[in-house]
Structure 1
């Protein structure tokens, strides 16, 4: 069972997941169902047999929302130059589990972490290839949906104030506040582009220090072109970070806004998951430290 990280979090274990999967998808009845440890903060994830992943949201999600995610996921998988899951089906809410849920193809690999490939120019090049491929997808008449990160930096001022207050003793809150004030005023750096929108280590699969797969593409859509650059501070040290910047030809404004989004995301991780998911807290702390120590962001 997934560790409880949120108020009102839904619970699902291997037995219940197996029953729901067999009920909705009889062809999978009897397939082994194994919980994926540390699988995420939004879904409980189970491996079903060798080729299928079941994702059970930790909060109630409608079938309509998951239909939209499945469409985005399929578009993302088609555009991604690395392995990515494709949608296989949507399961209905049940009296024992009140949310819709999904099946996707299983993509093998080891989740990245903030440090193991941080000094690799090759890994930076892989991330650059990913960003360029996603940005090449035409947004058409689609616009940013207004949800979460990816719009106006100033819209997150209240949240950042809250996070700074809650993070006393966990990170350098004075430095983080100073950096946010400086970075949040960076002007928009061009039109929105198609973006993954959550390029954190847990969504990136690696092997021998190279990127091999990308998970959680259901949020694929237009957003601030700087947003996917959060991976630069989540995953890379200074040298490879500059290599990534060169590959995507990021302007000063684009780069600084990327750092702002990374700082905004990281500050939410630092305190929120302090007891329930220490791995996410450590990611937040390491990202904040990289933003504050980055010589290209000072002044």
Structure 2
């Protein structure tokens, strides 16, 4: 999927686990099939999961990131109304694998898809309770400080232009370009709140049409209050999506900004993973289909909301998608 991607085999993982964590030598290892793009996942017995970063970078930086993710995951686990993975250990580079890696608890459940449980109102209510619980956590004065999704929409113009250019021949680019031109100028939705940051189907677990758990809590932190609303477009059909909005009490601006973040993410998925990760590319298409079907020509700013002045801020930091 990535030009600098690292390969990790179960045999490599066995060697690393046995050498660094002898208490787990007797536990079976098995790879977890996943459409994920950041980590290779290998289960350790029934209760643990090893996560091996796929991108080749500086080991010191990777360890710092894993430590920060572990702290965020602990904070998320303490407030989440559903199970989330808890950090257990951080492994070191070794033979066959050049980076630090992490071990977390295993959370049972079936990974959601864009189509299941898309029609479940009960799931939408569970999702609203999850997002509400995160928003209730004190930010302790923290604010969004990253370069990815969660800050100023207009900071992503360069990345979006890349996505639009690369999507020629794959998508209806003129229509999507017009939609981004409107979405990018939406005014702020309010002060930052605590957010999961990546509520895509691959990070959501379901059981019997209900929310069973949420994965990948390492990004938990402050962001635009609309950021977690991407789940409304990645996961839900019209009626459950309307129920989610009602329960969260989203005003027009917040709801529209949630659409904007979902659009931003989906545009990066379709072309980037078209050949290397078809399920992720298909997720982008599914989300864009929901977004464009609900879009009506006219001002993107909801009725009664002054349209933000169009600015010419270009060359800002871009997102990796």
TM range (shorter): over 0.9
The answer to whether residue 222 in structure 2 is matched with residue 226 in structure 1 is no
Aligned to 1:20: 16
Note the 1:86-235 alignment, pairs <5 A.
86-235=86-235
Q: Distance in 2 between matches of 1:298 and 1:266?
A: 22
Moved more, 93-102 or 129-138: 93-102
Q: Deviations over 1:4-63 (max 9, x none)?
A: x10110110100011111111110113111110125100000111000000000023522
**SS at structure 2 position matched to 1:62:** helix
Equivalent in the alignment of 2:309? none
Partner of 2:270: 270
SS at match of 2:14: helix
Q: Is residue 57 of structure 1 aligned with residue 64 of structure 2?
A: no
Stretch deviating more after TM superposition (227-236 or 170-179): 170-179
Q: Aligned partners of 1:17, 1:297: CA distance in 2, in Å?
A: 52
Q: Distance in 2 between matches of 1:193 and 1:151?
A: 11
Q: Secondary structure at the match of 1:77?
A: helix
CA distance in 2, matches of 1:262, 1:79: 24
The alignment partner of 1:164 has SS state of: helix
Deviation at 1:241, TM superposition (A): 0.9
In structure 2, the CA distance between the partners of 1:254 and 1:287, relative to structure 1 (3 Å rule), is: same
Q: Which residue of 2 aligns with 1:282?
A: 282
| Moved beyond 6 Å, runs of 4+ | none
TM-score (norm 2): 0.89
Match of 2:27 in 1: 31
Kindly report the root-mean-square deviation, in angstroms, between the aligned alpha carbons of the 2 structures. 1.3
Equivalences for residues 250-265 of structure 1 within 5 A: 250-265=250-265
What secondary structure does 2:258 align onto? Answer: helix
Moved more, 116-125 or 211-220: 116-125
**Aligned partners of 1:298 and 1:281: how far apart in 2?**
28
Cα deviations by residue, 1:151-202 (Å, 9 ceiling, x for unpaired):
1100111111111111123222222111111111110011000000000000
Q: Once the 2 structures are TM-superposed, how far is the Cα of residue 297 of structure 1 from its aligned partner?
A: 8.5
User: For the Cα contact (< 8 Å) 2:50–2:103, is it kept in 1?
Assistant: yes
**Pairs aligned (count):** 295
Tell me whether 1:71 sits opposite 2:67 in the alignment: no
Instruction: Classify the secondary structure of the residue corresponding to 1:211.
Output: strand
Gaps of 5+ in 1: none
- Give the whole-Å Cα distance in 1 for the aligned partners of 2:147 and 2:99: 20
Normalised by the length of structure 1, the TM-score is: 0.96
Q: Is the Cα–Cα contact under 8 Å of residues 16 and 95 in structure 2 kept in the other structure?
A: no
Q: Using the alignment, how far apart are the partners of 2:297 and 2:102 within structure 1?
A: 41
